[in-house]
Structure 1
Amino acid sequence: MKLIVLNLSLLFLSLHLSSVFHFAIAKGGLISSNFSGLGDISYVGSARHLFEEKKFSMQEHIKRLNKLAEGYMSNAELEKAIKEFNRRCSSISRVYSIGESVLGVPLWVIEISDKPGKEEPEPAFKFIGNVHGDEPVGRELLLLLANWLCDNYMQHPLATLIVNNVHLHILPSLNPDGFQSRLRGNAKNVDLNRDFPDQFFHMNDDLGMRQPETKAIMSWLEKIHFTASATLHGGALVANYPWDGTTDEKKYYYACPDDKTFRFMASLYSNSHHNMSLSKEFPGGITNGAKWYPIYGGMQDWNYIYAGCFELTLEISDDKWPNASEIPVLWEFNRMSMLNLVASLVKTGIQGRIFSSDYGSPLAASISIKGINSTIKAGKVFADYHRLLTPGEKYEVVASMPGYKSKSTRIMLGEEASTVDFILDPVVAARDDLLPSRCDCSSFEKREQKLIELLPGQHSEILIIVILILLFLCFLMKRRVILNYLRPKQMAGQKRPLVV
């Protein structure tokens, strides 16, 4: 009898351990497995380099993953698919590279917009897949997303909304070398989701040690002002949001300044998903990264801190490398979530533009929310801003810029986006900070001086009238410039903008 009880206990223990080790932490935690039966690969959260596998040789590991990779696009096939998409949908897309991997593979990006490659006062969103080489589902889903938008533009309301009002940038594979070798890290065995500058620790401050894939992302965000983004991972089913780390490396909920907004974004994705919100492990299908387990040098926190970009880490499949036959199902499960997340940039939050009252020029000013220690910058060309916020809340919005008087306004944000434009008054003229203007009234001052020098004293009354007429015309021109800048917002079918 004791022998039977012992055998049953051992059986229960083995089944329990099997289920534990099958669970894969795609964000890059303490224990991770590629699929059931492969064996365990251990990682240290703050380390840059990965440890080797313990149970299987490299040859066995590659052999097993090569079998799983059947049905997935190779790097060459992915590049071909990207370029074929661009040829087929050239009217709403362009393809460009942000750099190369360690082994020289181009990091191709698809931009989708009604005016691809052109600067517009619209928000930009980016999707990134295949951050970890052994998590390839994102590569496939992002190509499916691009093709779906192309096929449904001007037919499906969400596709039309996104293409007409957002600049969507899709990077299907950040880690083509890791995918080729069937390993998590890049060609130098570095986990790219531990390679970014960190707010708490300085292990990644050495520029010489930073990987080319990481540098490419950082340069990308210097060129394009992204409002929000998401990276697609595998090994769990949850929407993860900042902070990813804690000050003392312990595991607990550590909220960032925009915690409410991030929870809203994560819930939007989870609730639009087929079954993510039904998770028994993660209430509502969402989690704060630090509460799940802390990591350091992650892309998500860096985006928010250094680029003002609201990024989620999306774990979209329980298996890191599911059979290729499951891709159509995974696409259907995630499709509406991906679309709704991108569409939220224009359907919720606040947006607007900032102008100078003296010259009517756009100002690249800052937008902050009272009570939230987080600031975003307006665009350099059009001075447009796009600020994600939780619907149903009251906010005090503040626009500020050195050399100008700050302005603020209180709004009640409903379920739809609100447009709030600001016109700032200068404290002292700061023309170097101004963007190009269509009307420079300073030219009238020069003409006034010349007229004073040329006209005799008896014509001073005529001179005054001429000056007044010129000033009035300048005022009208400034007003027209600002109204012309604001008019496209009204034509887009949105509410009349609030001008502060």
Structure 2
Amino acid sequence: MEKAFCFSFVLLVLFFSSFPFPALARGSERSSSNLPGSEDYNNGFLVRHLFEENSRQLGREVTHGYMTNSELEKAVKEIGQRCSNICRIYSIGKSVKEVPLWVIEISDKPGHEEAEPAFKFLGNVHGDEPVGRELLILLANWLCDNYMKDPLATLIIKNVHLHILPTMNPDGFSLRQRGNANNIDLNRDFPDQFFPTNDDVDLRQPETKAIMSWLTGRHFTASASLHGGALVANYPWDGSQNSRKEYYACPDDKAFRYMASVYSRSHHNMSLSTEFQGGITNGAAWYPIYGGMQDWNYIHGGCFELTLEISDIKWPKADELSTLWEFNRMSMLNLVASLVRTGVHGRILSSDTGQPLPASVMIKGINYSVKSGGTFGDYHRMLGPGESYEVMVTMPGYQSKTTHILLKDKATSVDFVLDPEEPRQHKQFSTGCDCNYGNQNKLEMVGFFRGIHLEITLPAIVILVFLCFLLKRKMIKFPKHKQLLGHKRPIVI
């Protein structure tokens, strides 16, 4: 009989009685005196309509040269048609005003699940920060045009499943405002780890629900959202437990700093920032926010997400877009390529069946785990290079395994084959004689002899032979060796 021992881990979530101080939006002025609108408090908690837009309305002239929502949709579908061999177009939902949220998937096998890491880019989270949506269309076209021509484009398409959502907030863009059509800041609409700001599922915006559902159906290794109003690569945590403006590191702080630095160093001038050392910042150290998408991705989606501020001006003139594209192109490409250039990757299989296992991968000293895929058992763990790590794999019902790796400047591949907690029992019985009895009593007699201990005495053997002779009128030849098999050790590959 096989026994499966199931282990469960309980995550204790602490709720506090006070809500954080009002926080500014990414890319906005960093002085509360410049904060447009007002906040309402309900039983001590900041309610959802954080930013009531009553500041000056942006004129239509600022949108000149930018794609409208319909033009953006047309551009997305044209990419899908022109590059159908490496592109697939799909929608993850609709905005408040029923505008489809289109995604461009780019891979050498689009639409097919593979044992590869997946990366997602999101633009236009805030309606008045449209540079990201323009740059993401340019990125998709560039990859399409340079596949099998440029080594970096080919590396990404062959080894990563890239998903591009040019606009998360098409309604806010058309209204030329920060929030969506309901005037909700989508980057404050996600469940928060420190404060129960958005626990009511029914109150979440359709755009937020679409993103959350997207991550439920597909695992992303890493992600980045493109914002505007500053020039810096921002990483978790975005908020702090005490709501103070201070450096508040997440468990994978080293990996996130590395990823942020990959973007900053590849940028034309982000790393030269005089405001942010190296062009990167911890979110809570810059200014804390709550209900943000970045932290939620990391906590609930197993996805390492950055918030990228790619333009000092939120809505620059359209003729500056080509320059901004050149400034950010290598940063975007290198960030996606970092998924296969560093970290530890591999597959986790069962030793007795050879089937893939949805196991947990943990790093000693880092209180965070990632799951392997159920289809292929593949895992992709982002880690900062240049250090030694102890990697442990666990799965309920299986024995854990641990190995040590030295992660240099390239990725490391490690496959794990896990043994069941209790190997299967394989029992083989021998009757002691090749007798074919014709009634139940004789079968029960054979069953009796079957249970006799191996150290059988010579007289007992003689009696057994004589009985067989009387019953079948012929002698039975006994095997020279009688072997009883106990537990059979699983084969470890």
Work out whether residues 196 and 299 of structure 1, in 8 Å CA contact, stay in contact via their aligned partners in 2: yes
Partner of 2:400: 406
Superposed displacement of residue 171, structure 1:
0.3
Give the counterpart of 2:83 among 64, 81, 89: 89
Q: Secondary structure at the match of 2:115?
A: coil
Distance 2:260 2:179 in 1: 26
SS at match of 1:67: helix
Query: 1:26-41 alignment to 2 at 5 Å?
Result: 26-27=26-27, 41=36
**TM-score with structure 2 setting the length:** 0.80
Distance 1:302 1:46 in 2: 18
Q: Distance in 2 between matches of 1:159 and 1:456?
A: 73
CA distance in 1, matches of 2:38, 2:261: 29
* CA–CA separation in structure 2 for the residues paired with 1:357 and 1:387: 22
| Contact residue 133 and residue 184 of structure 1 kept, 8 A | yes
| Residues 358 and 185 of structure 1: CA distance in aligned 2, closer, same or farther (over 3 Å) | same
State the identity as a percent. Answer: 66
| Superposition deviation, residue 357 in structure 1 | 1.1
Q: Which residue of 1 aligns with 2:154?
A: 160
Aligned CA distance change for structure 1 residues 92 and 50 (closer, same or farther; 3 Å): same
TM alignment of 1:446-485, pairs within 5 A: none
Q: What CA deviation, in whole Å up to 9, does each residue of 1:381-435 have, x standing for no partner? A: 10100001111100000000111111101111010000011111111369xxxxx
Between the two proteins, the alignment pairs up a number of residues equal to 424
Aligned pair in 2 of structure 1 residues 398, 104: CA closer, same or farther (>3 Å)?
A: same
TM-score when normalising by structure 1: 0.79
> In structure 2, what is the equivalent of residue 341 of structure 1?
335
Other-structure match for 2:389: 395
Shift of 1:51: 3.8
Which position in structure 2 is the counterpart of 1:175?
A: 169
Listed one character per residue, the Cα deviations across residues 82-139 of structure 1 (whole Å, up to 9, x for unaligned) are 0000000000010000011111111000000000010100000000000000000000
* Greater fraction of residues in helix: 1
Letter of the 2:142 counterpart: W
Residue 231 of structure 1 is matched in structure 2 by 225
What amino acid does structure 2 have at the position aligned with 1:70?
H
Asked if 2 retains the 8 angstrom alpha-carbon contact of 1:46 and 1:295, the reply is no
In the TM superposition, residue 26 of structure 1 has moved relative to its aligned partner by 3.1
Instruction: Please state if 1:186 is matched with 2:180.
Output: yes
Q: Report the equivalent of 1:289.
A: 283
1:40–1:252 CA distance, 2 compared to 1 (3 A): closer
Cα distance in 1 for partners of 2:25, 2:323 equals 21
**Aligned residue among 349, 373, 379 for 1:385:** 379
How many Å separate the matches in 2 of 1:462 and 1:273?
A: 79
Report the Cα offset of residue 50 of structure 1: 4.2
The 5 Å alignment of 1:51-200 reads 51-53=51-53, 56=56, 61-62=57-58, 64=59, 66-200=60-194
Kept in 2, the 8 Å contact 1:29–1:293? The answer is no
User: Does the CA-based 8 Å contact 1:29-1:43 persist in structure 2?
Assistant: no
Kept after mapping to 1: 8 A contact 2:363/2:392: yes
Measured after TM superposition, the shift of residue 52 of structure 1 is 4.0
Give the structure with higher Rg (CA).
2
Are 2:231 and 1:248 equivalent residues in the alignment?
A: no
Post-superposition Cα deviations, 1:256-308, rounded to whole Å, max 9, x if no partner, equal 01001100000110000000001111111000000000000000000001111
Flag the 1:349–1:182 CA change in 2: closer, same or farther, 3 A.
Answer: same
Task: Report the Cα distance in structure 1 between the residues aligned to 2:320 and 2:376, rounded to whole angstroms.
Answer: 44
- In structure 2, relative to structure 1, the CA distance for the partners of 1:146 and 1:167 (3 Å cut) is same
Partner SS state of residue 414, structure 2: strand
2:274 corresponds to 1:267:
no
Say if 1:131 and 1:231, in contact at 8 Å, map to a contact too: yes
Cα distance in structure 2, aligned partners of 1:212 and 1:277: 36
Change (3 A) 1:417 1:55: closer
Q: Find the counterpart in structure 1 of residue 410 from structure 2.
A: 416
SS of 1:329's equivalent in the other structure is: helix
SS at match of 1:150: helix
Deviation per residue, 1:345-365 (Å, 9 max, x gap): 001110000111111111110
- Supply the distance in 1 between the matched residues of 2:482 and 2:74 (Cα, whole angstroms): 69
AA in 1 matched with 2:78? E
Contact 1:30 1:42 in 2 (8 A): no
Once the two structures are TM-superposed, the CA of residue 46 in structure 1 deviates from its matched residue by 5.3
Report if aligned partners of 1:40, 1:55 keep a CA contact under 8 Å in 2.
no
378 and 28 in structure 1: CA distance in 2 versus 1, 3 angstrom threshold:
farther
Maintained 8 Å contact 1:50/1:185: no
Distance in 2 between residues matched to 1:239 and 1:115, nearest whole Å: 30
Q: Does the Cα contact within 8 Å between 2:104 and 2:165 map onto a contact in 1?
A: yes
| Compared CA separation, residues 165 and 189, structure 1 to 2 (3 A) | same
User: What is the distance in 1 between the residues matched to 2:107 and 2:233?
Assistant: 26
Q: In the alignment, which residue of structure 1 is the partner of 2:352? A: 358
Task: Give the match for residue 49 of structure 1.
Answer: 49
**Distance in structure 2 (CA, Å) of the matches to 1:236 and 1:28:** 8
**Stretches of structure 1 lacking an aligned partner (at least 5 in a row):** 1-23, 34-38, 431-441, 480-500
CA distance in 2, matches of 1:406, 1:269: 36
Helix, strand or coil: the match of 1:91? coil
Q: Is the 8 A contact 1:46 1:296 kept in 2?
A: no
SS at match of 2:398: coil
